[in-house]
Amino acid sequence: MPDPTVLDTGAHIALTERYAAHNYHPLPVVLEHGEGAWVTDVEGRRYLDCLAGYSALNFGHGHPRLLARAHAQLDRLTLTSRAFLNDQLGPFAESLCRLTGKEMVLPMNTGAEAVETAIKVARKWGYRVKGVPEGEASIVVMEGNFHGRTTTIVSFSDDKVARDEYGPYTPGFRTVTYGDADALRRAVDDTTVAVLLEPVQGEGGVVIPPEGYLREVRAICDEAGALMVADEIQSGLARTGRTFACDHEDVVPDVYVLGKALGGGLYPVSAIAADQAVLGVISPGSHGSTFGGNPLAAAIGHEVVAMLEEGTFQADAARLGRVLEEGLRPLVGAGLDAIRVRGLWAGLDVSPGGPTGRELCERLLARGVLAKDTHGSTIRLAPPLVVTDDEVGRLVDAVAASIG
């Protein structure tokens, strides 16, 4: 059995390529340690982590408060299954209801599970409450969406790589152009039980809808008697400078879908939050999860909520986002076609003739910055919310030096 402590980068890559399925195409760096906004590879090189686990690491690597809470719970109780109660779930659920302003939560593990849960709840609500005939419920989704990679979710994805050769596909979804309220209004009808959308499309390249769009979605859902379901898995929990991205338009969805940062970068924790009139359709045995709501997950999630309730991370993301945007703006027309910034989250479109998104990420890697490409010529930047002004400046300098 190989000893991971003595393998170099090449050996780790070879081992992973040989024994792990090739469902990712990672950059050629093997990480072994992380602290705050920084990670270190097996050769001792340090990198500024500007992906932050797709926002799962909003609080950085190894945040002391989260580690302390996890360590304390590890010594007490980690799993009971929901066949029994545990002393961590109730306090966590109450705190998450307070944060979201909702009456109930349903805890799961991964983001995709939370989205699946929201879909199931919306359909059951549609049959039980709205009165849609059984088997006819429809959900309107958006072009360019990313909600996960389960069979049902890829059924309404327009990403060919994620979707192709996984059929037959789950029916019941209608797709409209993101940001087009008129298209949405035409798509809803008496069978529509929900509109599912990301307030900011993360995988799409940090795509921000037109001002007022979320308010129009809210109004259309109200008019149609459908649930507005906001996937805040990446955009929520302080990433955009507000607790939720919907807050930028003072919009409250019927269902929040949460994950990633809810586990503090330590453990998979997800949930949906809604009022009793929606989540009350769930009855014992109709939905569940062996690990969902376990004591360790609940303890970590409770600490995450406590940290967010202080408001510091939201304020830091808003301020540092302005610093990031001010630094990137001069690069538009000088290697970048466009930038989109919402809080401490940015999408950068590389100008034609410049490096591909992958090539730009490789150049950034050589300069000690980790980032992720998407859709060919776009990269995403999402450093942990604990970065400093100097570290944001270092990121901007690295991008400037890499796009030429």
Q: Alpha helices, DSSP H only, in 175-235? A: 181-187, 213-224
Instruction: Specify burial of residue 304 (Cβ count, 10 A radius: 0-12, 13-18, 19+).
Output: buried
* Helix, strand, coil percentages for the chain (3-state, nearest 5): 40, 20, 40
Active-site residue, selected from the candidate residues 49, 260, 316, 349: 260
Query: Quick check: is 260 catalytic?
Result: yes
Give the CA count within 13 Å in the CB-facing half-sphere of 245.
32
Q: How many CB atoms lie within 10 A of CB 385?
A: 28
Q: Is the dihedral of CA 255, 259, 264, 269 positive or negative?
A: positive
Nearest alpha-carbon partner for 37 in 296, 394, 398: 394
Q: Supply 163's token pair.
A: 């979707």
Active-site residue, selected from the candidate residues 59, 92, 146, 244: 146
Active-site residue, selected from the candidate residues 130, 156, 173, 231: 231
Query: Helices 389-402 and 357-366, interaxial angle, to 10°?
Result: 120
DSSP state of 4: G
Q: Are 389 and 321 spatial neighbours (Cβ–Cβ below 8 Å)?
A: no
Query: Quick check: is 231 catalytic?
Result: yes
Q: How many CB atoms lie within 10 A of CB 101?
A: 12
Please tell me whether the peptide bond between 64 and the residue prior to it is cis, using omega within 30 degrees of 0: no
The catalytic residues are: 146, 231, 260
